[in-house]
Amino acid sequence: MIHLVKKAQKGNDKAFLTLFKKYEQDIYRMAYIYVKNQNDALDVVQETAYRSFKTIESLKEPKYFKTWLMRIVINCSLDFLRKQKKVVPLETELVLNVPDDRNELIDLSLTLRDVIELLDEREKSIIILRFYEGLTFQEIAKTLEIPLGTVKTISYRGLDKLRDNLKGDGFYG
């Protein structure tokens, strides 16, 4: 893989495409967690591909390609969300018809997604990278370019918020 990164940094389009395809599902999953919409997530994936292709020569350590790529997708997702805040929706209320026979697993999944939305951007990024992507605290610190101690503090604070909110919903014992 390091060999492919070095080739991509020298301008080899095929090497970059091979690398990007390897992580495309991870990129999409991360984008979807942030933007919560398939089409928007695909837009973020496309923007991530563009930004990463244009700046791959700035990657100093080829072994951290995935970490570098995840940072780009997080930044693209946050940029997308910031732009969306400036858009005023035409409809003031959206009514969803949800069937009553949903099972508890779906309810819990929706509740977790809703509760994660209550976290600030840094807490959300760290929780997602830790528990959805399986990164270590060290990898998260490198990805987000913040000190290891800060990552741990924000993680614990975010988990406490999640626990408190889930207790209020009756799902956490």
Dump pLDDT digits (tens) for 112-150: 666 677 788 888 888 888 887 778 898 888 888 889 999
pTM recorded for the entire structure? 0.63
pLDDT digits (tens, 9 = 90+) for 66-100: 889 988 999 898 888 888 776 555 443 444 444 44
Cα separation, 71 vs 128, whole angstroms? 12
Do 37 and 112 lie in a common domain? no
Tokens, residue 126: 């760290």
Identify the pLDDT of residue 12.
Answer: 83
Identify the pLDDT of residue 112.
Answer: 62
pLDDT digits (tens, 9 = 90+) for 10-21: 888 898 899 999
In terms of DSSP H, where are the helices of 36-147?
38-55, 65-85, 104-116, 121-127, 137-144
Do 71 and 2 lie in a common domain? yes
For residues 123 and 144, the answer to whether their CB atoms sit within 8 Å is: no
Q: Residue 159: phi, psi to the nearest 5?
A: -65, -40
For residues 111 and 166, the answer to whether their CB atoms sit within 8 Å is: yes
Split into its structural domains, the chain has a count of: 2
Chosen domain end from 92, 107, 132: 92
Chosen domain end from 36, 68, 92: 92
